[in-house]
Amino acid sequence: MERIPIGIKDFESMIEGGYPKNRTMLVIGATGSGKTILGLHFINQGCMDGKKCMIIATEEIPEDILAQSRSLGMHLDRYQEKGNLIIERVYEERAGNVKNVLGFGIEKIDDLESNILGLIDRIPEGTEIVLIDNVGVLTLNMSVNEFRAQFDLLIYGLNKRKITSMVIIDISANERTGDTAAYSVSGVIRMSIKENPFTGARERLLDIMKIRNTKIPLEPIRFDITSSGIVFLKK
């Protein structure tokens, strides 16, 4: 199986070189656990490899994403200027939509805020690498069944279009949707901050739950976030 490098060398060497090509990795975690930064590594590596990349952002405006990437020594601005990277402003659109919709009646917000499948239409032809951060925002008014149906179709569509993607979901949305997002994707990573029972210190952990066709480490991996992004710590 062909692999896509993910921008963290220590991580790549643990999973046979990278994420499976043309498949989707799901990242689950609480606020501040490092999900977005993991996604930025993936996108930055794709850009450096000359691939057509896209970020669909529901929580942050592109300026904030670019500023965060700069603080980690990644220069996504350059790739955006060259046209290799597109950052979709779903967040700003949502804010605008709420204003428009208020004129018509509040019930219409549900439709606009629950269109997971529609994300695929935003991705231009020829795009190879996509980060969706955070799909959980679109699940607030959804039943588990509806979420699962839309999410499955999104993943199917991404794979069919030969896009290698990372989809982020915050832990509360993942629980609300019955942990069903994990079923249709090729890989699942969980990120967390936990107290070490022996030292009492809080530490960042990355758990690889599954990656199809790949031998994975079963131990959680401790990591730090530094000025050059995610750094795996020795055991």
Q: For residues 100 and 226, which CB has a smaller minimum distance to ligand ADP in the complex? A: 226
Least CB distance from residue 68 to ligand ADP, whole Å? 6
Q: Which does 217 bind (CB under 5 to 8 A by kind): ligand ADP, Mg ion, none?
A: none
Question: Using the rule CB under 5 A, is 174 a contact of Mg ion?
Answer: no
Whole-number minimum distance, CB 136 to Mg ion, in Å? 10
Query: Which residues in 94-125 are b (16+ Cβ under 10 Å) and which e?
Result: beebeeebeeeeeeebeebbbebbebbeebee
Taking the complex as a whole, the smallest distance from the CB of residue 66 to Mg ion amounts, in Å, to 14
The option from Mg ion, ligand ADP, none interacting with 228 (CB < 5 to 8 A, set by class) reads: none
Give the nearer residue to Mg ion in terms of CB position, either 36 or 186.
Answer: 36
Give the pairing type, strands 221-226 and 229-232. Answer: antiparallel
User: Is residue 33 a contact point for Mg ion (CB under 5 A)?
Assistant: no
* Residue 36 is a binding residue for Mg ion (CB under 5 A): yes
Residues that bind ligand ADP (CB under 6 A): 29, 31-37, 71-72, 225-227
- Position with the least CB separation from Mg ion: 36
Closest approach of Cβ 151 to Mg ion, in Å?
A: 19
Long-range contacts of 79-87 (CB under 8 A, 24+ apart): 79/47, 79/53, 84/47, 84/50, 84/51, 84/52, 84/53, 85/43, 85/47, 85/53, 85/54, 85/55, 86/53, 86/54, 86/55, 86/124, 86/127, 87/54, 87/55, 87/57, 87/62
Characterise 178 by phi-psi region: left (phi > 0), alpha (psi -120 to 50), beta (else). Answer: left
CA–CA gap between residue 205 and residue 222 (Å, rounded)? 5
User: Candidates 4-12, 36-44, 86-94, 186-194 — which segment interacts with Mg ion by CB under 5 A?
Assistant: 36-44
Shortest reach from residue 231's CB to ligand ADP, in Å:
10
Which residues sit at the interface with Mg ion, rule CB under 5 A? 36
